[in-house]
A and B are shown apart, each in its own frame.
Chain A
Amino acid sequence: QVQLVQSGAEVKKPGASVKISCKASGYTFTSYYIHWVRQAPGQGLEWMGIFNPSGGSTTYAQKFQGRVIMTGDLSTSTVYMDLSDLSSEDTAIYSCARDSPSGSYEIDYWGQGTQVTVSS
């Protein structure tokens, strides 16, 4: 079965960076894009960007351009999301999510989420 398993919770200081992993299994890794979505406490879902494991191309939401980098490792079927220059406003649950077989920006599977807390 399809699974997206993310790395554990992180606590960071303002100005630091965080790198979250998302290990995929149960399907052909290179055949499906991966989205990153975050949810601040009590808030809605916010799209951060998308990564294509086949070739490594990315599209980032304008809000995060210059601060986010999404990469992948084919050997371990893992996608990474690196967010830099953290502030308290980046405290949120970060989730990876698989795009559907149609490849048309429809999410069909989600990771369990990774809590990132930014605090001095």
Chain B
Amino acid sequence: NFMLTQPHSVSESPGKTVIISCTRSSGSIASNYVQWYRQRPGSPPTTVIYENNQRSSGVPDRFSGSVDSSSNSASLTISRLKTEDEADYYCQSYDNSNLVFGGGTKLTVL
């Protein structure tokens, strides 16, 4: 099975833009959809992006997702950062009937 590698943490200031990467270890990133989930402390995850670049209901257009075959990675971009965006973010994909999560990225907005 493959792995999805994310940076352990990122930080940025309010109003700025941050990009969280998710690199697939083997197989093509484009072969299966990538989802992004946000998890705030003490709460279950919620879907932010599904099918690579589709925003989940209620998610503002400050959030966008993309896939880059040349780097075999997916990215979550959050623009015009707000303090409320501070959370853990997980990418997820699947292959051979197995679902795989990235290790998660802690976003700090300071």
Interface residue ranges, A against B (CB under 8 Å): 35, 37, 44-47, 50, 59, 61-62, 95, 100, 102, 104-108, 110-113
Contact = CB atoms under 8 A, between A and B. Distances in A.
| Chain B contact patch, size range | 20 to 34
Contacts of B58: none
B82 to A, nearest CB: 23
B45 A45 contact: yes
Contacts of A46: 101
Contacts of B44: 95, 110-113
Identify whether the interface residues of B are mostly helix, strand, loop, or mixed: strand
Contacts of B51: 102, 106
B48 to A, nearest CB: 12
A32 to B, nearest CB: 14
A70 to B, nearest CB: 14
Given A95-B44, A111-B44, A113-B44, A106 B33 contact: yes
B102 A44 contact: yes
Contacts of A47: 98-101
B92 A107 contact: yes
The CB with the most chain B CB atoms within 10 A, among A44, A62, A112, is that of: A44
Interface in B54-76: 56
A4 to B, nearest CB: 9
Interface in B70-110: 90, 92-94, 97-104
A47 B3 CA distance: 12
Given A45-B104, A106-B35, A112-B44, A59 B50 contact: no
Interface string B1-30: 100000000000000000000000000000
Nearest to A111: B44
B46 A105 contact: no
Contacts of B97: 50, 59
A105 B94 contact: yes
A57 to B, nearest CB: 10
Contacts of B93: 105
Given A61-B98, A110-B46, A111-B44, 16 more contacts: A35-B99, A45-B37, A45-B90, A45-B101, A47-B99, A59-B97, A59-B98, A62-B98, A100-B50, A102-B51, A104-B32, A105-B93, A108-B56, A110-B44, A110-B45, A113-B44
